[in-house]
Amino acid sequence: MTVPVPNPPPRKQERGTAAQRKMIEAAQSLIAEGGFGHATMARIGERAGYSRGLADYHFGSKWEIVEKIIEEIARSWDERIASVEPRRGMPALAHAIDVAMAGLEADPTPARVLQVLASEAPGLEPAIRELLARHDESYRRRLRRWIAEAQQDGTARTDIDPVAASAVIEGMLRGVGYQWMLNPDSLRPIAMVPTLRDAVLGLLARPAGLWGAPPQG
């Protein structure tokens, strides 16, 4: 009879990585619950199931934890936006709307963390504000690429400014998320997909100047 061999204990590095993962998750939940100030290093360690000082041991500051949180949010979105069939232009924008709303319902914590940090940004240290700004710019850069592709293939009008349009699209998606998190009974993000698609794709495709000239000055 073969005697089962017990699995070897996790190495120190693996244990450290697992502890860091739990503390990043704990920091996310604490920021979502009570804001940046609520997520003290002691609370992060305790929420993760470790000693109060372990967060200080693994991370030099909350800035490092926030950096990891934003990296994780960006990585998760990249994974969800990836497709077996590469999308370009308008189909890519439509898919991004689907992913944003589905992700919001599946796990609202990342969106809530970004919302809380953005609302507190003026009072946060410059390094964290810069992290948030870079995250937003990375998101809009991808939107701008898809808008440019739609202009190239003729499905979007060529006179629209991709920089301005990307900011408007991001604002639409964030705005729906904000309203839902404020009052979950008021709407379902998934149910907003058709309207958001019409609004976003219509913004890019409708004739220029449909609503008159923009204000001057």
Domain count for the chain: 2
CA separation (Å) from 19 to 37, 43, 108, 168?
A: 22, 14, 23, 39
Mark whether 172 and 79 lie in a shared domain. yes
Q: Give helix 62-81 / helix 12-34 axis angle, nearest 10°.
A: 90
User: Using CA atoms, how far apart are residues 44 and 24, in angstroms rounded to an integer?
Assistant: 8
Radius of gyration of the chain (CA): 21
State the CATH number of the domain containing residue 112: 1.10.357.10
Coil, helix or strand at residue 189: coil
Show pLDDT as tens, one digit a residue, over the chain (217 residues).
454 545 545 544 444 588 888 989 999 999 988 888 898 888 988 888 887 777 878 887 788 888 888 888 888 888 887 765 678 999 999 999 999 999 899 888 888 888 888 888 888 888 888 888 888 898 999 999 999 999 999 999 999 999 999 999 999 999 999 999 889 898 999 999 999 999 999 999 976 554 444 445 5
Mark whether 127 and 193 lie in a shared domain. yes
Mark whether 79 and 168 lie in a shared domain. yes
User: Using CA atoms, how far apart are residues 30 and 5, in angstroms rounded to an integer?
Assistant: 40
User: Using CA atoms, how far apart are residues 121 and 5, in angstroms rounded to an integer?
Assistant: 53
Mark whether 73 and 159 lie in a shared domain. yes
Structure tokens at 25: 């998750």
4 is a domain residue: no
Range of the domain at 16: 12-60
Mark whether 23 and 123 lie in a shared domain. no
Mark whether 78 and 153 lie in a shared domain. yes
Q: Do 177 and 111 contact (CB within 8 A), yes or no?
A: yes
Mark whether 95 and 23 lie in a shared domain. no
State the CATH number of the domain containing residue 39: 1.10.10
